[in-house]
Chain A
Amino acid sequence: MSLILLLVILAIIGFIILTYNRLIAQIEAVRNNQKQIDIQLDRRFKVFESLINVVKKYMDYEKSTLKDVVALRNQAQQAKDSGNDAARMAAENKISTIASGLNVVFEQYPDLKANQNALQLQEEIVSTENKLAYAKQSFNDSVEIYNANKKSFPANVVVGAFPAKLNFDFPYWQLSEENIAEKESYTVQL
């Protein structure tokens, strides 16, 4: 009889320890996932910052090249109109050196080709936004697991015994009511 009693007590203690440890692990998972949202927000800021810089530089380069080409083309046209063949040839030659220079740049960096660049940019933006969204989803999932475990019987008895260590109220990640209404009525304006 006393043996059975001992076994029952041991089983209860074992259950309490397991439940306690599981809840602690779940609480830390929630906290980590919460920080993961911060990490992704930070990443988004940095990635977009550097993307904008890259694009600016690239666009400047293209813009100045384009300006040069247009100017040279005008020179060539004027020279042609005025019958100055030597000046026209010089202008045309300069354009082709710019063009071949561009080609060299493109060949060295095949990814620099404009549409490839746009695709890459698009992929980077989509992926960054996705990562942020999935980080939020993952946070909410861990909150769900923790809350379900905390509130279910008999784990809630253990939580009641150690409220300072085990009982936390993590709100789900969500938008405010006004924000939801605003986003709900949003349509794309082109």
Chain B
Amino acid sequence: MSDFHDYTLSTADWRKTLRQNTFRTYVVIGLFCLIYCSIGMLVDMYMVSTSYPSASIQQLFHALITFKIFPLATFVMLVIALVSLMVSYAFYDKLMLLGTEYHEINPATVQNTAEQQLYNTVEEMKIAAGLRYMPKVFIIDADYMNAFASGYSEKSAMVAITRGLMAKLNRDELQAVMAHELSHIRHLDIKLTLTATLLANLSIMVLDMLFYNAMFSSKRRDSESRSGNSLAAIIMILRFLLPVISILLLLYLSRTREFMADAGSVELMRNNQPLASALMKISDDHQQHRDQYSAAYQQTPHENIRRDAYIFDPIEAGIEARTSINDIFSTHPSLDARLAALGIKRR
């Protein structure tokens, strides 16, 4: 048990945390849909601006939104989004364990009491959560302490945990971590995050195509239509702004969902201390073995696909993952923020 002597303990209001963050999620997902549709409208306006050279932007927008002109591009983009979402739902589960050494455990294959205990804690949390299906349980052969969940529905759900985490946590802490992971499954976080990521990437792709199109045919268009110039300007600004906005929104969403999973863990266990002490242990452990774990994380291929899903983001401990723009920010709230949300504040 990690000691809490530097902290003041109180109880966590998990109902409030869940309520607040559910609202935040609606806002973020709404924003993503709005952005996606706006980009579609932009493409539509750009396309029809040549047919109605004398119309202003407002007139074009009004005509499209009231279906006087059918917003074909928006419609096509929505169909593309739906199809690609369905395709990724079908294949994504297989990706999550990519690159790790893992094995599945179930009551028939458990080798020792520790594995039995892990399976039992998951089963207990499954009962507390009222899930209908038992998630698959995987152990990853790695020394660092981490765990993640995946799955689009209760049926295809899985949780995975590293050997390091199993060895260093006591039963209650292990259970709290598993409750956090099961909460991700219960809240359908994996589906949500992937939907948002896909919408963000698609909007950026479409905007890119629109941008190059506008660049290379700008001379011809500008002279032809009234709205062409201002449309080109909007496209130009958005092309540089949208990726930043998308990343910030995705990070905000991911942090919101982490807070919710933490609250969900308290909801299932009715006790905030096991999760808090598990988080502190994991964080301390990452600080202590920073170099060793940094090497381990980097040697594991495809580590970036699991980053969002982990209970603890290695970036928090100063372990840099791959080279990518969103490594500057952590996908998880800071340890202190998470503890504060659990009702445990540093003195």
Is B270 positioned at the interface, with any CB of A under 8 Å from its CB? yes
> How many angstroms between the C-alpha atoms of A130 and B124 in the bound complex?
7
Q: Does A138 lie within 8 Å of B127, measured CB to CB?
A: yes
Q: Does A120 lie within 8 Å of B123, measured CB to CB?
A: no
Contact with B along A126-153 (1 / 0, CB 8 A): 1100110011011001100000000000
| Closest B residue, CB atoms, query A135 | B127
> How many angstroms between the C-alpha atoms of A141 and B129 in the bound complex?
9
Is A167 positioned at the interface, with any CB of B under 8 Å from its CB? no
A131 and B127 contact, Cβ closer than 8 Å, known pairs A119-B113, A123-B113, A123-B116: yes
| Closest A residue, CB atoms, query B120 | A127
| Closest B residue, CB atoms, query A33 | B130
> How many angstroms between the C-alpha atoms of A111 and B115 in the bound complex?
13
Listed residue (A36, A111, A123) with the most chain B CB atoms within 10 angstroms of its CB: A123
Residues 24-69 (chain A) with a chain B CB within 8 angstroms: 29, 33, 36, 40
Q: Does A120 lie within 8 Å of B124, measured CB to CB?
A: no
Q: Does B130 lie within 8 Å of A138, measured CB to CB?
A: yes
Is B214 positioned at the interface, with any CB of A under 8 Å from its CB? no
| Residue from B117, B121, B129, B171 within 8 A of A138 (CB atoms) | B129
Is B309 positioned at the interface, with any CB of A under 8 Å from its CB? no
Q: Does A40 lie within 8 Å of B127, measured CB to CB?
A: yes
Q: Which residues of B contact A111 (CB under 8 A)?
A: 112
> How many angstroms between the C-alpha atoms of A127 and B171 in the bound complex?
10
Q: Which residues of A contact B127 (CB under 8 A)?
A: 36, 40, 131, 134-135, 138
> How many angstroms between the C-alpha atoms of A15 and B273 in the bound complex?
41
Is B128 positioned at the interface, with any CB of A under 8 Å from its CB? yes
> How many angstroms between the C-alpha atoms of A29 and B120 in the bound complex?
23
Q: Which residues of B contact A33 (CB under 8 A)?
A: 130
| Closest B residue, CB atoms, query A36 | B127
Task: Return B287 CB to nearest CB of chain A, in Å.
Answer: 31
| Closest A residue, CB atoms, query B129 | A138
Count residues on chain B whose CB falls below 8 Å from chain A CBs.
16
Q: Which residues of A contact B128 (CB under 8 A)?
A: 134-135, 137-138
Residues 104-118 (chain A) with a chain B CB within 8 angstroms: 111, 116
Is B125 positioned at the interface, with any CB of A under 8 Å from its CB? yes
Q: Does A120 lie within 8 Å of B130, measured CB to CB?
A: no
Task: Return B119 CB to nearest CB of chain A, in Å.
Answer: 9
> How many angstroms between the C-alpha atoms of A138 and B116 in the bound complex?
23
Q: Which residues of A contact B120 (CB under 8 A)?
A: 123, 127, 130
| Residue from A29, A116, A119, A127 within 8 A of B130 (CB atoms) | A29
Q: Which residues of B contact A135 (CB under 8 A)?
A: 127-128
Q: Does B130 lie within 8 Å of A142, measured CB to CB?
A: yes
Contact with A along B87-117 (1 / 0, CB 8 A): 0000000000000000000000000110011
Q: Does A123 lie within 8 Å of B130, measured CB to CB?
A: no
Q: Does A116 lie within 8 Å of B123, measured CB to CB?
A: no
Residues 79-130 (chain A) with a chain B CB within 8 angstroms: 111, 116, 119-120, 123, 126-127, 130
Q: Does A123 lie within 8 Å of B270, measured CB to CB?
A: no
Q: Which residues of A contact B121 (CB under 8 A)?
A: 127
| Closest B residue, CB atoms, query A39 | B127
> How many angstroms between the C-alpha atoms of A33 and B129 in the bound complex?
10
Residues 259-279 (chain B) with a chain A CB within 8 angstroms: 268, 270
Q: Which residues of A contact B116 (CB under 8 A)?
A: 120, 123
Contact with A along B164-205 (1 / 0, CB 8 A): 000000010000000000000000000000000000000000
> How many angstroms between the C-alpha atoms of A33 and B132 in the bound complex?
11
Q: Does B125 lie within 8 Å of A134, measured CB to CB?
A: yes
Q: Does B270 lie within 8 Å of A131, measured CB to CB?
A: no
| Closest A residue, CB atoms, query B132 | A32
Listed residue (A116, A127, A135) with the most chain B CB atoms within 10 angstroms of its CB: A127
> How many angstroms between the C-alpha atoms of A130 and B171 in the bound complex?
12
| Closest B residue, CB atoms, query A142 | B130
> How many angstroms between the C-alpha atoms of A36 and B127 in the bound complex?
8
Listed residue (B117, B127, B270) with the most chain A CB atoms within 10 angstroms of its CB: B127
| Residue from B112, B117, B124, B171 within 8 A of A134 (CB atoms) | B124
> How many angstroms between the C-alpha atoms of A116 and B121 in the bound complex?
19
7 closest residue pairs by CB, A with B: A134-B128, A127-B120, A134-B127, A130-B124, A138-B130, A119-B113, A120-B113
A-B contact pairs, 12 of them (CB 8 A): A36-B130, A119-B113, A123-B116, A127-B117, A127-B121, A134-B125, A134-B128, A135-B127, A135-B128, A137-B270, A138-B128, A142-B130
A134-B127, A134-B128, A138-B129 given. 14 additional CB < 8 A pairs?
A: A33-B130, A36-B127, A40-B127, A116-B113, A123-B117, A123-B120, A127-B123, A131-B123, A131-B124, A134-B268, A135-B128, A138-B127, A141-B130, A142-B130
